[in-house]
Structure 1
Amino acid sequence: MPPTLSTVNPSQGPTTGGTTVTLTGSGLTGATAVRFGSTPAASYTVNSSTQITAVSPAGAAGAVAVTVTSPTGTSNAVTFTYVAAAVPVITGVAPTSGPTSGGTSVTITGTGFTGATAVNFGATPAASFTVISAGQITAVTPPGSPGGAAVTVTTPGGTSSASANAYFFYAAPPVLNAASPAQGPTAGGTLVTLTGSSLLNAGAVLFGSTNATSFTVVSSTQITVTAPPGTGSSPITVITPGGTSNPVGFAYVAPPTLAGLAPNSGPTSAGTVVTLTGANLATATTVAFGTVPVAFTVVSDTQVTAVAPAGAAGPVTVTVTTTGGTSAGLTYTRVATPGI
């Protein structure tokens, strides 16, 4: 009694062949041939008396009869349809940029991706890829050189053509050379100029682990950024599609405080040397008696000496301004010289 066939699954495949199909039926033991139309299967395996797996040969678009032959005869036919595979088309790549080191997970959208056998970035195969559907592939970028790389998908229907929507741009890693100024108050607000290279398309500027909320990419070699509040040493880094830059130093300076003046009074004439004591005085930029800046010497982080200016008799407020801000004032009193 000849074999019988009941189903073929899947029931269609590309004209290029290579589809693995499962044939079910009965009396399949000892099969000597599996044919798609008049063409022998590329290969086949008899799994049991009720199942054969076969690989379709190449064929013309359209339906063909699949049959199994054994020593007892040839089976009835089941239908397999050859479908002309469409050339894949890419309509989008996201994200469109990433580091030259590779490793970016990219979603490719378009049509005709079923059966994709290759995804390339320029001439380099993707590190890996997964066909999600006929309209979507996820791929991991290989390493590449700075610049644009055409993304292509190859299927049994052919290879997609390059288009404006099918490019991935490799970005060189950002490099920082300097931050100016390299310190500022703990309250933040210092406008810092960063210089370096490959700074375009920066997505974040960090002071330590804190994101700066305000920055401007001036050029590929310069960024201006407003320092957020912080304390201590907070190295600055820049993040771009090319990766994270090397750090450059930035230090937060605590605001100055004054604890005492010695002496705390003097004549209305100039020249009295006053010793100011306190904390966080090392970066002093100004000592003022009222609104009048005076000559001064930073002795240590806790001591500054200043020369009192001439002024009217009475109290005047003494302040110290440093990189960390301006201190609260202490009172210095000018005493008029008694008349004769």
Structure 2
Amino acid sequence: MSRFRPALAPPEGGTTLTITGKGFVTPVPGLYFEASVDGKLCPSVRVESDSVLICTVPPGSGSRLTVAITPVVDISYGSPRAPVVFDIKLPPLVLPGFAYKGPTIERVVPTELPTSGGRLTLHGASLGVGEVSVRASDGVECTVVSAQADRVAVDDVGPGSGSEKHLTLRNRSGLSKAPFSYAAPVVTELHIDGAPDFPTWTRNESFTINGLNFGTHNTADLLRVTVGGIPASARLVAEHTSLLVRVPPGAGGRALVQVSLDGLSSLTNPETSIPYSRPHVLACTKSGAVQRAKSSIPDSSEVIDIFVQAQLARYYKNGIRQAELDLFGKPFSKESAKQATEIWSVLEPKIRRMQNKVNKDILVNSITKAWQAVKKSRGLGVEEDPRTKKRGIS
């Protein structure tokens, strides 16, 4: 035996293997040949000529395999009625260099998984032949649920995020890789407690985002939330499904909320937005005089803004360094501090005259809490008069 063709065949078998050499036709009575690939007998063998032997490749897998031809002599003796028959196998002729085709993954179904992971099916050729293993991008081995030549189903593809992921299938004949991705975040609901509108400045308000594909605590560093395009602080309340978001400063009107994880972002629409309070004119000043607005008391968030601005103006007038900036981060001036005080002086009597005691108490309590929070954040717990150096609790 000198060579064989082809040297590569599909793992399901059935390929015609042509072996060339010499001495396949011999006058020895009862001589025939067995052919095998990787030790497995070929299901059919025939001698074409003295130099050509044809056999059918059996099913199998692997590479660097051998092809062997074993001469067998069929010997019989005795009477025709009770012959004695036995075979004598001569040493085989062996050539290396045969291989079954390696696996080829053509597609993955589904093409993406939720960030919690799940099951995938790999479709292709020469997949589920012999011992099969499948690993995900993170190196974790998946559970092979079923394996066939044209498909392999795997479970336990672990949690993850992002689009540039792959699966690696390996069997005796080689390996094949196929891409897949995790799904982008999906916002299904925004849960807002308290007032219907958020102020344009933040007082540690927060809201909850419910949805899908928010990832795990292990991928939290890749999680981003924006409100109206402004980055917001967020943390996972429940892996994959719920986030708690602190409201960033914003402009009046509605602001779209978007969640991004590992480069993939949620779609936005009017249903995935939060409201900020719109501008509300309480009073106008001209030449130092206050012209009272004829509108009713504004909503609670605006009342709180006006009160806090007036209190900061009072601290500014007393020379307190921590109050040099107003509520919106702009430097106070004598005129702006005076205006803030006058606006509150117009609004305060209206609050005192509120008829609904319950609503009044709720509003006053909200104002107090908001002011205490601002004082704490700015270090304004103690007020100092720079002229007398006397200290007193504000």
TM-score when normalising by structure 2: 0.36
Structure richer in strand, relative to its length: 1
Higher RCO (Cα < 8 Å, 6 or more apart)? 1
